Amino acid sequence: MSDLVQIVYISRSTFKPLPPELGIEPSVTRILAQSRLNNARRGLVGALYFGDGCFFQCLEGAANQVDALYSRLLDDPRHTDLQVLSRKPIEQRSFATWSMKYVPLDADIKALLASRGLDRFDPYRFGRAEVERVMELLKTGTAADEGPAPVAPADYPALPAAREAAPASTHDPVARRTAALALALAAIALAASGLALLR
Ligand code: FAD
């Protein structure tokens, strides 16, 4: 019997969000970077949406890790009014390859809000159907910083840090650019030493 759980909660940001046309909110970018590092170490995965000053987050992993993170979340001054929408045992992780997937769902969320006669993303007013729809969008939506999510393995246990760092970094464009630059520099150094030998 697995001790995996999934928790879905909502909260309100305490920072004033920038206009959405300016791109991903810098505070959210920092939260994502911190989450991806920490979650990969702890065998946690999940997805986050931020809209109209509200967070909607799904977290999955071993029950003790999920609950410990939720306790830390309660103390985080960047958000308030945390409300758990669901907490349930799961057989396998839905976001298995994402230490924290970030999906800008603006068009889909607008359609959902319009269909319910809501004028802003206010998950505190959502019923079960709206919560399920947002979850579905988080699972199927394309992440902000990568193409479609790779096929997820059936399941995996919490892994040691070195092995967990790999999946997170494959979704990190900065890490990919740094690796490409290092390769280019190595090629130049090789060519230069070749020339020196010929002289
Ligand atoms: P540190 O990064 O050293 O932080 C120590 C303390 O400083 C914490 O109490 C933290 O609350 C506070 N803090 C850190 N950075 C800031 C900042 N920029 N502004 C104000 N206070 C700050 N963490 C995860 O590990 N995984 C997640 O999936 C995750 N999701 C989050 C979702 C939301 C909506 C928010 C607001 C935060 C999320 N966090 C997540 C962050 C989490 O609340 C803790 O801050 C984090 O886990 C602590 O990381 P750390 O142990 O490395 O401590």
Distance CA 5, CA 88 (A): 5
Atom number in ligand 1 closest to CA 72: 43
Residue 107: pLDDT band with limits 50, 70, 90:
confident
**Residue 134 in contact with ligand 1 by CB distance below 6 A:** no
Q: Are the C-beta atoms of residues 73 and 81 closer than 8 Å to each other?
A: no
Q: Are the C-beta atoms of residues 84 and 9 closer than 8 Å to each other?
A: yes
Q: Which of 9, 11, 28, 72 to mutate to test the pocket of ligand 1 (most atoms within 8 A of CB)?
A: 72
**Tokens coding 116:** 């319910």
Atom number in ligand 1 closest to CA 42: 25
Residue 111 has pLDDT above 70, yes or no: yes
Question: What's the pLDDT score for residue 103?
Answer: 84
**Residue 38 in contact with ligand 1 by CB distance below 6 A:** yes
Residue 61, CA distances (Å) to 88, 107, 141, 186 in order? 11, 29, 21, 39
Question: What's the pLDDT score for residue 157?
Answer: 43
Does the model's pTM come out above 0.95? no
Torsion 59-64-67-72 (CA) sign = negative
Going by alpha carbons, the residue nearest to atom 29 of ligand 1 is 35
> pLDDT for 13-58, tens place per residue?
999 888 877 788 899 999 999 999 999 999 999 999 999 999 999 9
